[in-house]
Amino acid sequence: MSPYFIGIDVSTTASKALVIDEQGSVIVTRSQPHALSTPRPLWSEQDPEDWWRASSQALREVLEVVPAEQITAIGLTGQMHGLTTLDAAGRPLRPAILWNDQRSGPQCEAITKKVGEKRLYQIIGSILPPGFTAPKLVWLRENEPEIYRQIARVLLPKDYVRYKLSGAYVMDVADGSGFGAMDIGKRTWSDEMLAAYDLPRAWLPDLCESTDVCAYVNEAGAAATGLKVGTPIVGGAGDQPAGGVGNGIVSMGQCSLTVGTSGVAYAVSDRYAPEPDGRLHTFCGPMPGTWFHMGVMLSAAGCLRWLHDELTPESSYDALNQQAASVPRGALGLVFAPYLTGERHPHPDPLARGAFVGLTLRHGLPHLTRAVMEGVAFGMRDLLELLRSLGVNPSEAVVSGGAANSPVWRQIITDIMGMPLYTVNTSEGGAFGAAILAAVGAGAWPDVPSACAHMVRKVDELHPEPAGIQDYERLYPTFRGVYPALRSSFAALSEFEA
């Protein structure tokens, strides 16, 4: 029988199960949605049981197509940073606090002052933004002490699904890097950071590499999903490093641009060398002995979804694309600041807001749409410039996420980046990468680069237009000036709202 490998992706919107064979062909994929709660401004939560319900259902559905006996190994990926607190019986104590939740800003400031800014991002590979996991625990201690006192274990979203499958409390180093409590250079928990947070080590799971077999499906997990008892589970990785694997970004000089709900620029490094001012994340890579640089903007394709849902819900996205294509570059002097949920890079500001700058009576919905697409692309350019400052100078990049499905938006991004962009043979991203990690962990391939060389292929390539490069190079400095000009106004508006 042919061996198959499963990738499970616990994203913000759904849990997906994907099955591939040894050559990387996708056999079947199924997903089930999650509900998202925003009980207060800047808050974002989900019920961990929803992740398990959706994951187990998706697994049952793919196993209707592929026999459980042919599943050789499982890899996990998912949204990073989500704080999942469990009691002594392994039950969730409260809704998980997600990656885009901004409530722990004061706690991040206090910890940064305690450790020292330079020292902190040398240890954790980043400044400490509110989205990270550990500051949320400090917030819980200060605001929900009755919940905090009951904590026995802390996991990340995909690792909760692993726990439900196997009973194991394990976290891979690539996803664990976003916890905010690891020594990234040493690929282990940092005693210094745990002391600064005043958090017990006993709450934290064991760490493993992304391709390590670290757990096995137990009887309860098998009964809930249809998987075979004893099926190996590898460490996996967070959605961004797993997506890097799924896009074939496994060596120096390669770069990926993911323009999904959030936006991410991703590049691999063979040494630990964090950005000097902490304006990028430098985390443990999904391959032993590697690290990766990652720049994050919190609202990317999510900005266009907001515009669609709030201003023109009856329109199709194809109609929006056509409207944007009818508008000249620069949207008649209209610029959009894409900070609808605060920002992380290069502006670590949870109080940042979205803004249209330059509105006149000439502007209508088509111009707003074009400006949103361009503003998101300029935000991604900011991330690319940070990577370039570290010596990452790609001659091309793979583009993925919802924006990659739009011809007009893809051309805008290509022109603003000023270099060719290409797509690969699958759009499954993180789930595909998790399945590749499972295949390597099971011994089907000797290492991740070998697997990707056989499984990931370039498909479409798009080149920038010279006139587009010229126009956007003129407009980019104006975009870069918007945030500094409005920063104090954003803070004042947030204070007024509070």
Q: What is the DSSP letter of 283?
A: E
For residue 131, report the phi and psi dihedrals to the nearest 5 degrees.
-70, -20
C-alpha to C-alpha distance for 52 and 271, rounded to whole angstroms:
36
Helix residue spans in 38-144 (DSSP H):
48-62, 105-115, 117-124, 133-143
For residue 306, report the phi and psi dihedrals to the nearest 5 degrees.
-60, -50
C-alpha to C-alpha distance for 452 and 455, rounded to whole angstroms:
5
C-alpha to C-alpha distance for 200 and 422, rounded to whole angstroms:
45
Give the strand order in the sheet containing 458-462: 281-284, 291-297, 263-269, 255-259, 397-400, 421-424, 458-462
C-alpha to C-alpha distance for 183 and 137, rounded to whole angstroms:
18
C-alpha to C-alpha distance for 6 and 251, rounded to whole angstroms:
24
Cis peptide before 366 (omega within 30 of 0): no
The answer to whether the CB of 423 falls within 8 A of the CB of 399 is yes
Both tokens assigned to 300: 């990317």
Q: Is 239 considered catalytic here?
A: yes
The answer to whether the CB of 279 falls within 8 A of the CB of 419 is no
Q: How far apart are the first and last CA of the chain?
A: 61
Q: Which one of 9, 172, 175, 239 is the catalytic residue?
A: 239
The answer to whether the CB of 27 falls within 8 A of the CB of 2 is no
How distant, in Å, are the alpha carbons of 103, 107, 154, 329, 479 from that of 142?
A: 12, 9, 17, 49, 38
The answer to whether the CB of 443 falls within 8 A of the CB of 419 is no
Q: What positions carry a catalytic annotation?
A: 239
